[in-house]
Structure 1
């Protein structure tokens, strides 16, 4: 089944590649979409959830058209796997520090976005420290 999908993609890409204008438009579109997905993934990395998955998806989109992105994707995967293997071997203290750092980043983001003052307002809490700094 995967071979059929890959074959259909190759045929589709060959038809587009036959027209230089369409080929350029396709490559630009893939580049823009891939960069947007990659940027969203990079922003999502410090938060709980699929940040790295989104980064790899963005690089995968870019790698479908650009050799440099293919090399970068391979490099990023190797280093991510190596880091996660290292992190899984660490003590509970290091793992707890990672969880604490993630929690601090999430809470800081929520505070800077004004979420605490918004939710506090629902309950009549007008505490000054809930307000965002700007």
Structure 2
């Protein structure tokens, strides 16, 4: 089994269509929707910038960065695709780590039996 398939399979289970998730009354007015997108972009930028600052410091830097991208993903299709790709890669990596851990455990048990 290839790891890429497992990540793709798990990540697509809760995949939503790309596009704006703004309330209907905001999408109805072009100027209001544009203002909404600017606000979401600036909030996401602030969160991502905070995550970048936290990277060299002890703290959840990457988690904060992904939260900012998640905020962007509520409004921008490119961020939704980035988040989907990231989730798939994290699931692939998690599966790979579990496989290695199992393999190491089996080797230890085999050495004890000898």
Same fold (TM over 0.5): yes
**Residue aligning to 2:53:** 43
Residues 88, 42 of structure 1: alpha-carbon distance in 2 compared, 3 angstrom cutoff: farther
**Residue aligning to 2:15:** none
**Residue aligning to 1:77:** 87
On the 8 A contact 2:48/2:68 being kept in 1, the answer is yes
- Alignment partner of 1:27 out of 27, 31, 37: 37
- Alignment partner of 1:56 out of 59, 63, 66: 66
C-alpha displacement at 1:45, in angstroms?
Answer: 2.5
Residues 17, 52 of structure 1: alpha-carbon distance in 2 compared, 3 angstrom cutoff: same
C-alpha displacement at 1:52, in angstroms?
Answer: 1.6
RMSD of Structure 2 on Structure 1 (CA): 2.9
Residue pairs, 1:116-127, within 5 angstroms: none
> Is 1:65 aligned with 2:46?
no
Runs of 5+ in structure 1 lacking a partner?
Answer: 1-9, 91-134
| Corresponding residue pairs, total | 82
Larger radius of gyration: 1
Runs of 5+ in structure 2 lacking a partner?
Answer: 1-19, 101-114
The secondary structure found in structure 2 opposite 1:48 is coil
Residues 88, 35 of structure 1: alpha-carbon distance in 2 compared, 3 angstrom cutoff: farther
**TM-score, with length taken from structure 2:** 0.57
**TM-score, with length taken from structure 1:** 0.49
